[in-house]
Amino acid sequence: MKTRQSGIFVEQRSRNAVNLSEEVAKIRGGEVVVVDIAKLTDDEQTLVFGDILRTIYALYAESDETEIGDTIPEKVIIFVDELNKYAPPRESASPIIEQVLDIAERGRSLGVVLFGAEQFRSAVHPRVVGNCATHVFGRTGSTELSDAAYRMLDADVRMSLTRLEKGEMLLAHSPFRQPIKIRFPRPAYKQEGVP
């Protein structure tokens, strides 16, 4: 029987390897934890991402108020690239979609915030998109913009998305009546006058 795995599954963890969920649960305020999944297979990436979501969600859902801010941070931000891979807009539920939906729909009240980045907003589960408080759009093609996921934007704004320059983005956030254009500063080494 053939298997395809990167080596992450071991019969017994050596002293040099830690249990990921135990390690993630040790997060403290102001700390950044980076979990590398780049060289894992798709199934393994899903396991690791789901494990992190489940661990963080349980950390907050099962803790009492005195622990929050003391032994665990007041808020945790989970940033994931290619969110569409884990929460595609398919109708049938899966454990990973359920996990992402738990965070998207109930995480905010617990202090767990999910930042997702993806090429196409239309490729993300509608309940995840619907629960986003802040949306940031980059330059987008008109075919993608014709999807229902962009219905929240006026026709004029949608058109302007097709003409954004490199480094320009459109930020939609409820305190602002209209989306606003933001610009990423050029990297310091490319700015004029910077030694």
Partner 1 sequence: MRYLLPWGKHSDRDGKPNSFSIPNQNWRMYAYSLQDTYDKLDLLMSQIPDPHDTIGSLIGEIREGLGGVQHGNPSGKWANVQQHGITFSTASLWLRTGNRSKSEMFEPFQWGVFVASCDAS
Residues that bind partner 1 (CB under 8 A): 1-14, 16-21, 23-24, 31-44, 46-48, 50-51, 54, 86, 90, 92, 94-97, 99
Say if residues 55 and 21 touch (Cβ distance below 8 Å).
yes
Nearer to partner 1, 34 or 155 (CB): 34
The pair of three-digit structure tokens given for residue 167, joined into one six-digit string: 């480094």
Q: Which long-range contacts (CB under 8 A, 24 or more apart) does 55-63 make?
A: 55/20, 55/21, 55/24, 55/25, 56/24, 56/27, 56/103, 56/112, 57/99, 57/102, 57/103, 57/107, 57/110, 57/112, 59/25, 60/107, 60/110, 60/111, 60/112, 61/110
**Minimum distance, C-beta of residue 194 to partner 1, in the bound complex (Å):** 25
**Minimum distance, C-beta of residue 18 to partner 1, in the bound complex (Å):** 5
Residue 40's contacts (CB-CB under 8 Å, 6 or more residues apart) are: 6, 8, 48
Sign of CA dihedral 133, 32, 50, 106: negative
Nearer to partner 1, 89 or 138 (CB): 89
**Minimum distance, C-beta of residue 57 to partner 1, in the bound complex (Å):** 13
Nearer to partner 1, 52 or 110 (CB): 52
**Minimum distance, C-beta of residue 126 to partner 1, in the bound complex (Å):** 18
**Minimum distance, C-beta of residue 86 to partner 1, in the bound complex (Å):** 8
Nearer to partner 1, 10 or 155 (CB): 10
Nearer to partner 1, 45 or 122 (CB): 45
